[in-house]
Amino acid sequence: MAKADTYTHRKNTANVHLTGLEFGKKPPQAIDLEEAILGAAMLEKDAIFNVQGLLKPESFYKETHQRIYRAIEELAVGHNPIDIYTVSEELKKKGELDEIGGAYYLSQLTLKVGSAAHIEYHAKIVAQKYIQRELIRISSEVQHDAFDDAIVVDELLDGAQQKIFDLVEGNMRSETRHVSNILKETIEELTAIQKNDDGLSGLPSGFSALDHITLGWQPSDFSIVAARPSMGKTAFVLTMARNMAVEHKIPVAFFSLEMSSMQLVKRLLTSETGIASTKIRGGKKMIPEDWKILEQKIGDLINAPLYIDDTAALSIFEFRAKARRLVSSHQIKIIFIDYLQLMTGPPNTHGFREQEVSAISRSLKAIAKELNIPIIALSQLNRMVETRSGSNKRPQLSDLRESGAIEQDADLVLFIHRPEYYGMTEDENGNSTRGTAEIIIAKHRNGATADVQLRFLSEQAKFVDDTGDPVTQHRVEPLPSTYQSKMNNGYKNQIETSKQIEISKEFEVQSPF
């Protein structure tokens, strides 16, 4: 039996059990309200448009009502009149008129309601009953599968989470709001931003030039940081995670699928203390002076709200559950994933790598929106970068590995490019490229694309602000203030903070609400 047929068989079996009063109770239902909704839809031509976003044919408990509602929906889609006669004719075309009780049953439905005044309220109750029935059905299926030793527990958990997630996604509807309410919230947000010295609307990365372009990492955004191996992807996002957690006390979660939590902490210690990585990793013995520095610097990391999860081959379902718990219990404000291609997607995509990566990408965007936090995932690039001749080694969107869906789903795509890695020690103007790193903002759904220049300190495995002016495709004015951190000391951007603050005060916006 095919997988889809097996699922349908289980669903039908569960429904049979439920209607057979397996639990000693009648399944949740509201037959009277179902009749009132159908009757009202045939009485008033526009009534159906008030409930289309709330109901679907499966929402009705009686199969007869499902068929009638489906016929009404099809008439509405075709911009046809909706009344007893047109619905009757539509059902006759489908060969279902006699099965629902004929035209007489339709006429009886219209007699049971006076008007469509309360149709939307009735629809909400019917929708709630449907969700209750689906929860009971899913619970019954999970209970049945839990007794089957042939089913792997991980697959059982994934399947259960997927069914619940699909139910939630399929029944979540945002209400239409008047623009005045949205404008009020927008002005309040703009006013709050004006009062901030940093001028950012999102979370700071710790890199002033990058923050200038992005205005910080924005809530609900799904961002990709991509590069070829050994370009410093992990070092880049780990530096940002450290800057946020240590300097700004922002709760950060870091999911590492490639490195263990201890390896990540050793990297953090190297960048925080400046002690050679060979000593931190244990390859060389640390001298007393090293231990003294370590003791002085470690306190900042101990007190930082940084949470690390190193679960290997993390599934998208496990990630969703863990992310929800972290946001709920630790008020996590941003999540990093290292890296996307090491995650596993839904069971039905296994064996089809492009489909699996696409499903993971879509899910991460949905989770970022659901939790209203930024999610930043690392991604590998394909080998096309390496095969390009000459100095044309700069990555581009078409180099994203395994799936075009990543480019489509991401709100922000950043590439890391270090010319020195390819043996290019000078740029076209003869300037040295040693230690330089370009952060290429190749896609920015809500802003400009640009190139930002940083410094990469390979011995300490960290990125810092560049000493010179940021290299960008668009000429930009400096931020009113910068984010200085201990990791960025020695690379301070010389900005006249006080002058910029005075200028910004002249443009303070007072909320009219």
Q: pLDDT tens for residues 380-421?
A: 887 777 777 656 778 878 777 666 678 788 888 998 888 777
Please report which confidence band the pLDDT of residue 261 belongs to, taking 50, 70 and 90 as the band edges: confident
Domain boundaries, the chain: 3-171, 207-505
> Which residue has better confidence, 320 or 433?
320
Q: Which of 74, 96, 120, 258 is catalytic?
A: 258
The mean pLDDT value for 18-29 works out to 65
**What pLDDT is stored for residue 30 in this prediction?**
92
pLDDT in tens, 82-131: 889 999 999 999 999 999 889 899 999 988 887 778 888 999 999 999 99
pLDDT > 70? residue 11? no
Residue 32 has pLDDT above 80, yes or no: yes
- Active site annotation includes 35: no
Q: What angle do CA 100, 101, 105 make, to 5 degrees?
A: 105
pLDDT digits (tens, 9 = 90+) for 296-327: 878 888 888 999 888 887 888 778 878 888 88
What gap in Å lies between CA 226 and CA 233, rounded to an integer?
7
- Compute the radius of gyration of the chain from its Cα atoms: 29
361 close to 406: Cβ distance less than 8 angstroms:
yes
At residue 64 the predicted structure's pLDDT band, cuts being 50, 70 and 90, is very high
Query: Is the backbone peptide bond immediately before 307 cis, with ω within 30 degrees of 0?
Result: no
Q: For residue 436, what pLDDT band results from cuts at 50, 70 and 90?
A: confident
**Of 191 and 103, more confident:** 103
What percentage of residues in the chain have a pLDDT greater than 70? 79
Q: How many helices (H) and strands (E) does the chain have?
A: 18, 9
Burial class (CB in 10 A: 0-12, 13-18, 19+), 507: exposed
CA distance 327 to 232: 28
pLDDT band at 347 (very low <50, low <70, confident <90, very high): low
Higher pLDDT, 77 or 439: 439
Average pLDDT score over the chain: 77
214-246 per-position pLDDT tens digit: 888 888 899 999 888 878 888 889 999 988 998
Spell out the alpha helix ranges (H) of 274-390: 277-280, 288-302, 316-330, 353-371, 384-387
Residues 354-388 have pLDDT tens digits of 778 888 888 898 889 888 899 999 988 877 777 77
Q: The CATH number of 3-171 is which of 1.10.150.20, 1.10.287.610, 3.30.565.10, 1.10.860.10?
A: 1.10.860.10
Q: Does pLDDT of 500 surpass 70?
A: no
- Cβ 202 vs Cβ 218: under 8 Å: yes
For residue 469, name the pLDDT band (cuts at 50, 70, 90). Answer: very low
Question: Looking at residue 254, what is its pLDDT?
Answer: 93
Q: Over 90: is that where the pLDDT of 479 sits? A: no
The β-bridge relationship of strands 252-256 and 462-465 is unpaired
| 451 has a pLDDT exceeding 80 | yes
pTM score: 0.61
Indicate the length of the chain as a whole number.
Answer: 513
What's 207-505's CATH class? alpha beta
**Structure token digits, residue 372:** 């209203």
